[in-house]
Amino acid sequence: MSIFEEVESEVRSYCRSFPTVFDTAEGSHLYTKDGRDYLDFFDGAGALNYGHNNPYLMDKVVAYIQKKGITHALDMSTAAKEEFLTTFRNEILAPRGMDHKVMFCGSTGTNAVEAALKLARKVTGRDTIFAFSGAFHGMSMGSLSVTSGNDTRESLRGSQHAVVFMPFPYGFNASFDTIGYIRNVLNDDHSGIAKPAAIILETVQAEGGVIVADPQWLRDLRALCDEYGILLICDEIQVGCGRTGTFFSFERAGIIPDMITMSKSISGAGLPMSLLLMHPSLDKFTPGEHNGTFRGNQLAFVAGKAALDFMKETDLLAQVKKKEAIIREFMENEILPLDSRLSVRGIGMIWGIEFEKIDYKLSKVASMRCFENGLLIERAGRRDSVLKPMPALTIPEEDLRKGLAIVKEAVEYALKQA
């Protein structure tokens, strides 16, 4: 590991949780240079919903490279982009009654969030944005302004970018009437808070600790935005692309946001790509008003199109529902009985085991124990108190159960340290 410590910046993070050198990967397995096999319940922070080197996807990418397909084209029209857009419209947008326009942003999710905030302010002429406690939307300045973690926000250095945080229905705020509170703020001409251009949220706060918003609450929020002429932005960067059991996480509420940010697994194979979907009436950027050199990743178009085909041909969303039942049963029957102070929550194939009522530090003990036993898993939530199983949607049932057994042993081990 010396070369990384000697040359690479101190900003590196995930490699500190997983201190080894990985070399190859297949499906839900990562292999180190010395041949050790690790099961992956981390999933590239949600960028590898289809697993590592999925052969259906990678065969298409390799064939494209071998035919000397274009690898870089800015935002020029290419056959690869044409095929992706056609498939995305026909298989994702049209069946859901959506006519959203697709904007290709810079290569990471935070750029899609930046574009959404910028566009919301442009089309409404208003500056304020409402975000929620527990939110994570990215690390660039605009995205960071709508991210709630105090430690994370330190680099803003006082630049809040006209963002007001509202209580998300969780924990202390679980019974708080956030919708009523927002309505009161909007109706009170002495609230000191300006009417926002947009409200941005994750329907499942992933980095916030796997907090799943109630569908009725989401419907009420959509209705409030309609009532007051506020744009609703849904961040699907980590929990989209089938992670919750539907392609978009907001589908369970029967709502359609005005804007949707996507990245991570939309590229299919862990390749950089991000999208902003917007209602056609909001498509107001002038040519080049929000651009970037890598806003047209051709290999990601190829893999992304293949991923949508793969999802359809394998009925992957049905598989997610089946595996969700396995995880839910395991959490209820194997994890919760270990200690009455533990809590679990989740949806689809993103789950959280909460240690806060015992000792938040135990989540780190458990994650390290998992790594020792050959499983990659990360933490999330307030004070990183949540152990966060998030395997690939394609993980074989045998590997899923094996990984869950490792999680249980690690939780038992951590509880003994309490």
Residue 64 lies in a domain: no
pLDDT of 128-143, one tens digit each? 999 999 998 988 888 8
Domain shared by 309 and 201, yes or no: yes
pLDDT at 159 over 70: no
206 and 351 Cβ atoms separated by less than 8 Å: no
Domain shared by 154 and 290, yes or no: yes
Which CATH number goes with the domain that contains 100? Answer: 3.40.640.10
Domain shared by 152 and 245, yes or no: yes
**What backbone torsions phi and psi does residue 210 show, to the nearest 5 degrees?**
60, 65
Residue 47 lies in a domain: yes
**What backbone torsions phi and psi does residue 136 show, to the nearest 5 degrees?**
-135, 125
Please tell me the distance from the alpha carbon of residue 259 to that of residue 224, in angstroms, as a whole number: 16
Residue 61 lies in a domain: no
Residue 188 lies in a domain: yes
> For all residues of the chain together, what is the average pLDDT?
95
Domain shared by 307 and 186, yes or no: yes
User: Between the CA atoms of 165, 171, 173 and 178, what dihedral angle is there, to the nearest 10 degrees?
Assistant: 70
* SS3 call for 157: coil
Which CATH number goes with the domain that contains 407? Answer: 3.90.1150.10
Domain shared by 300 and 319, yes or no: no
Q: Which of 264, 293, 313 is the last residue of a domain?
A: 313
Among the listed residues 399, 266, 228, the one whose alpha carbon sits nearest the alpha carbon of residue 327? 399
CB neighbourhood size of 162 (10 A):
15
Positive/negative CA dihedral, 163, 169, 175, 178: positive
Domain shared by 137 and 108, yes or no: yes
Q: Which domain holds residue 95?
A: 70-313
Q: Give the model's pLDDT for residue 312.
A: 98
Q: Which of 279, 313, 347 is the last residue of a domain?
A: 313
Domain shared by 149 and 279, yes or no: yes
Q: Give the model's pLDDT for residue 160.
A: 64
pLDDT of 149-158, one tens digit each? 877 777 776 6
Average pLDDT of 377-386? 96
CA dist 417 → 1, 340, 366, 369 (Å): 29, 16, 10, 12
Domain shared by 35 and 151, yes or no: no
pLDDT of 286-332, one tens digit each? 999 999 899 889 999 999 999 999 999 999 999 999 999 999 999 99
pLDDT at 79 over 90: yes
Domains: count for the chain: 2
159 and 172 Cβ atoms separated by less than 8 Å: no
Residue 62 lies in a domain: no
Q: Give the model's pLDDT for residue 154.
A: 72
CB neighbour list of residue 215: distance below 8 Å, 6 or more residues apart: 252, 253, 254
Domain shared by 98 and 206, yes or no: yes
181 and 173 Cβ atoms separated by less than 8 Å: no
Domain shared by 271 and 406, yes or no: no
Q: Which of 265, 293, 313 is the last residue of a domain?
A: 313
β pairing state of 22-26 and 29-32? antiparallel
Structure tokens belonging to residue 90:
């026909």
pLDDT at 144 over 90: no
Domain shared by 192 and 291, yes or no: yes
Structure tokens belonging to residue 124:
């409404």
Average pLDDT of 21-40? 97
Per cent of the chain over pLDDT 90 is 89
Average pLDDT of 108-114? 95
Please tell me the distance from the alpha carbon of residue 370 to that of residue 354, in angstroms, as a whole number: 16
pLDDT of 222-245, one tens digit each? 999 999 999 999 999 999 999 999
Among the listed residues 412, 272, 265, the one whose alpha carbon sits nearest the alpha carbon of residue 349? 265
Domain shared by 46 and 89, yes or no: no
Residue 146 lies in a domain: yes
> Which helix (H) or strand (E) element contains residue 81?
helix 79-88
Among the listed residues 98, 108, 125, 122, the one whose alpha carbon sits nearest the alpha carbon of residue 238? 108
Query: For the chain, how long is the longest CA-to-CA vector?
Result: 65
Please tell me the distance from the alpha carbon of residue 296 to that of residue 175, in angstroms, as a whole number: 44
Please tell me the distance from the alpha carbon of residue 38 to that of residue 178, in angstroms, as a whole number: 42
pLDDT at 1 over 70: no
Q: Give the model's pLDDT for residue 207.
A: 95
Residue 65 lies in a domain: no
Please tell me the distance from the alpha carbon of residue 159 to that of residue 201, in angstroms, as a whole number: 20
Site of tokens 């029957």: 333
Residue 59 lies in a domain: no
